[in-house]
Amino acid sequence: MKLWDSISESIQSVTGKPFEIASQQSIGGGCINEAYKITGKTATGENDQAWFVKLNQTSGLKMFEAEHKGLQELSNTNTIRVPKPLCSGVAENKAYLVMEYIELTSRGADPAQLGQQLAAMHQVTTKQFGYVCDNTIGSTPQVNTPEKDWVGFWQRHRLGYQLQLAARKGGGGGLQRKGEQLMDQFSALFTDYRPKASLLHGDLWGGNCSSDCEGSPVIYDPAVYYGDHEADLAMTELFGGFGHTFYSAYADVFPIDAGYPVRKTLYNLYHILNHFNLFGGGYAAQAESMIDHLLVELS
């Protein structure tokens, strides 16, 4: 069966409503996948369904299944709007993920509402750090093996994992040597701070956040796991920051610990190492200087 017929059939079988594609429009802006808006006619000819569809090679199925799970997990909290996932699978020679289409505006989210809602989402906690499945950060695998110890989790599955990848991609020498030093020492940043395992978006930069037509915040394209809420907050600051109103609204709901400004660098180091592993170039030097900064803080 052809790709779009097969996707239409899946949509129909999950919603239980007839679905026939009436229009299809390519959507840009993503980093990893092809994306489309499709609308569909009902039996009465009304154009009343709109879906957002991501496509990748068949090997991307696991990635889409993990995104599907993550979106569902975020959506279940009823704290902040995320596209509700519908179905994922393989059709013809493509993997696909279908989710609710949300008309996003260019206005950006109201920062106070975004801060309050994100803080409420972070107040959803569980017993272990990690997640029920691995997922991806960009296109890099993200390991989420559940653990009780956050420091060990961050050592093994975040910094350690990315440092090993970096060694294979030519990021050796000082980066590895200092990285090892940091891995041995960073537990000192957690002597008086014991984070809970909060539900995280996991990839919360400005490009994964917008607002719907009512002006309500929407977040999408997550890399969900349970971890220190500061890890999500740190990422909001990595490429420009979400503004003072956002952070103060957030802190009114979920207070931010005094040690955050230092741990922020530890958390963003993960993303900068990932950028080196994905794009190479100057990110190795940036990662090394972040490690230098942390080692000074720890000395």
The contact set with ligand ADP (CB under 6 A) reads 27, 29-33, 35, 52, 54, 83, 99-102, 104, 207, 220-221
Of 206 and 259, which has the nearer Cβ to ligand ADP? Answer: 206
Of 171 and 222, which has the nearer Cβ to ligand ADP? Answer: 222
* Minimum CB–partner distance for residue 92 and ligand ADP (Å): 19
3-class SS letters over the chain: CCHHHHHHHHHHHHHCCCCEEEEEEEECCCCCCEEEEEEEECCCCCEEEEEEEEEEEHHHHHHHHHHHHHHHHHHHCCCCECCCEEEEEEECCEEEEEEECCCCECCCCCHHHHHHHHHHHHCCEECCEECCCCEEECCEEECCCCECCHHHHHHHHHHHHHHHHHHHCCCCHHHHHHHHHHHHHHHHHHCCCCCCEEEECCCCCHHHEEECCCCCEEECCCCCEEECHHHHHHHHHHCCCCCHHHHHHHHHHCCCCCCHHHHHHHHHHHHHHHHHHHHCCCHHHHHHHHHHHHHHHHC
* Minimum CB–partner distance for residue 38 and ligand ADP (Å): 11
* Minimum CB–partner distance for residue 250 and ligand ADP (Å): 22
* Minimum CB–partner distance for residue 32 and ligand ADP (Å): 4
Of 84 and 148, which has the nearer Cβ to ligand ADP? Answer: 84
Of 36 and 270, which has the nearer Cβ to ligand ADP? Answer: 36
Position with the least CB separation from ligand ADP: 30
Q: Known catalytic residue: 203?
A: yes
Of 20 and 100, which has the nearer Cβ to ligand ADP? Answer: 100
* Minimum CB–partner distance for residue 191 and ligand ADP (Å): 37
- Catalytic residue (one of 110, 192, 203, 221): 203
Q: What is the rounded CA–CA span in Å between residue 199 and residue 74?
A: 8
Q: Which residues are catalytic?
A: 203
